[in-house]
């Protein structure tokens, strides 16, 4: 079970597993899916073995639909990846699903059926501009679908100010977006900022506006700043600073261990 606010001060570390373009998308490389699957499972095993709390399987298909939908082949492909990871880690390693840009309902379905524990929602409330167009949330439809497939136990982490979400149509503070996301059914919220001090300010404001809602950092942490940032937040999605030096999709075991050593040092 994924616990964002453990009583012992435990910080939740969720490693990012970025999938290359999947079947059903225009930039998919024919015949590459077995390799994509194997690399994702290897990354999850590494994260699990090093002591991470879970992983988020996220699509990186380069171009996306703006609506809450996804190509059937793409849904099946990520479902196979999630299932393989769940089996390879013994079912005790929480696996998250995010079909980009904002395919929340397909992500919930994959998590429910394939053995996932949570999803990340790019836009659970409001709207945001993106290269794929205007991404508009449909919180009522998401809540109805979540109930219909009996996915209340599939946690939702909602972006409120991240690389993928910035409130469109006015200067609504992330703390207010967080309160709205909680109202719409979010179990936790994700936020980040390149400026470390602004990120901490957003976390503190969110604590005041939406007390009790776990705050997960959605980027810009590294081995140098994670101790300061996680002193304020409950956990972090982490990917880039754990990648191998060759720039591929693989993770570097030493980087993963050093990052986790810093985080676990906060808990002692």
- How much of the chain exceeds pLDDT 70, in percent? 97
Kindly tell me if the per-residue pLDDT of 267 is higher than 90.
no
Q: Tell me: pLDDT of 15 over 70.
A: yes
Tell me: pLDDT of 247 over 70: no
What is the average pLDDT across 122-134?
97
Give how many domains the chain has, as a whole number. 1
pLDDT score recorded for residue 40? 97
**Taking residues 210-225, what's their average pLDDT?**
97
Mean pLDDT along residues 181-209: 97
- pLDDT-derived band at 178 (thresholds 50, 70, 90) equals very high
Mean pLDDT, residues 22-28:
98
- What confidence category does residue 4 fall into, taking pLDDT thresholds of 50, 70 and 90? confident
* Inside any domain, residue 248: yes
Per-residue pLDDT tens digits for 40-84: 999 999 999 999 999 999 999 999 999 999 999 999 999 999 999
Under the banding of pLDDT at 50, 70 and 90, the label for residue 3 is confident
Q: What span, in angstroms and rounded, lies between the C-alpha atoms of 71 and 17?
A: 20
Using alpha carbons, select from 9, 43, 54, 91 the residue that is nearest to residue 255: 43
Residue 196: predicted pLDDT: 97
The CATH number assigned to the domain holding 168 equals 3.20.20.70
- 3-state class percentages of the chain: helix first, strand second, coil last, to nearest 5: 40, 20, 45
Q: pTM for this structure?
A: 0.96
With tokens 């050093």, the residue in question is 258
Predicted confidence (pLDDT) at residue 7 exceeds the cutoff of 80 = no
Residue 82 lies in a domain: yes
Burial classification of residue 34, based on how many CB atoms lie within 10 Å of its CB (0-12 exposed, 13-18 middle, 19 or more buried) = exposed
Residue 268 lies in a domain: no
pLDDT at residue number 91: 87
Does 4 reside within a domain?
no
The domain in which residue 180 lies consists of 12-261
Question: Would you say residue 7 lies in a domain?
Answer: no
Note the pLDDT of residue 2.
Answer: 77
Tens-digit pLDDT profile for residues 103-121: 999 999 999 999 999 999 9
Give the orientation angle of helix 104-114 with respect to helix 139-148, to 10 degrees.
20
Share the mean pLDDT of the chain: 95
Q: Give the confidence band of 249 by pLDDT, cuts at 50, 70, 90.
A: low
What lies within 8 Å, CB to CB, of 100 at 6+ separation is 58, 59, 60, 61, 64, 122, 164
- Distance (Å, rounded) from C-alpha 80 to C-alpha 198? 39
In a domain, 54, yes or no: yes
Confidence of residue 1 (pLDDT cuts 50, 70, 90): low
> DSSP class of residue 210?
S
In a domain, 171, yes or no: yes
Per-residue pLDDT for 194 more than 70? yes
pLDDT above 90 covers a percentage of the chain that reads: 91
Assess if residue 3 is contained within a domain: no
């Amino acid at each position: 079970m994924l616990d964002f606010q453990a009583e012992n001060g435990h910080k939740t570390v969720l490693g990012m597993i970025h999938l290359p373009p999947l079947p059903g998308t225009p930039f998919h490389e024919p015949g590459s899916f077995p390799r994509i699957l194997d690399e994702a499972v290897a990354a999850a095993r590494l994260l699990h073995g090093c002591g991470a709390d879970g992983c988020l399987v996220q699509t990186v298909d380069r171009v996306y639909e703006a609506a809450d939908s996804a190509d059937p082949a793409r849904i099946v492909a990520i479902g196979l990846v999630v299932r393989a990871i769940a089996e390879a880690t013994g079912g005790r390693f929480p696996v998250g699903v995010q079909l980009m840009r904002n395919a929340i309902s397909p992500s919930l379905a994959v998590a429910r059926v394939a053995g996932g524990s949570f999803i990340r929602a790019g836009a659970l409330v409001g709207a945001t501009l993106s290269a794929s167009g205007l991404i508009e949330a449909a919180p009522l439809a998401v809540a109805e679908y979540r109930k219909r497939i009996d996915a209340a136990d599939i946690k939702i982490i909602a972006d409120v100010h991240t690389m993928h979400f910035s409130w469109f149509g006015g200067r609504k503070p992330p703390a207010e977006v967080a309160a709205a996301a909680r109202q719409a059914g979010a179990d936790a919220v994700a936020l980040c900022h390149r400026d470390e001090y602004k990120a901490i300010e957003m976390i503190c404001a969110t604590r005041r506006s939406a007390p009790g809602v776990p705050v997960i950092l959605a980027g810009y942490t590294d081995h140098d700043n994670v101790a300061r940032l996680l002193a304020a937040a409950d956990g972090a999605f982490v990917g880039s600073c754990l990648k191998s030096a060759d720039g591929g999709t693989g993770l570097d075991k030493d980087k993963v261990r050093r990052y986790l050593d810093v985080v676990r040092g906060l808990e002692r």
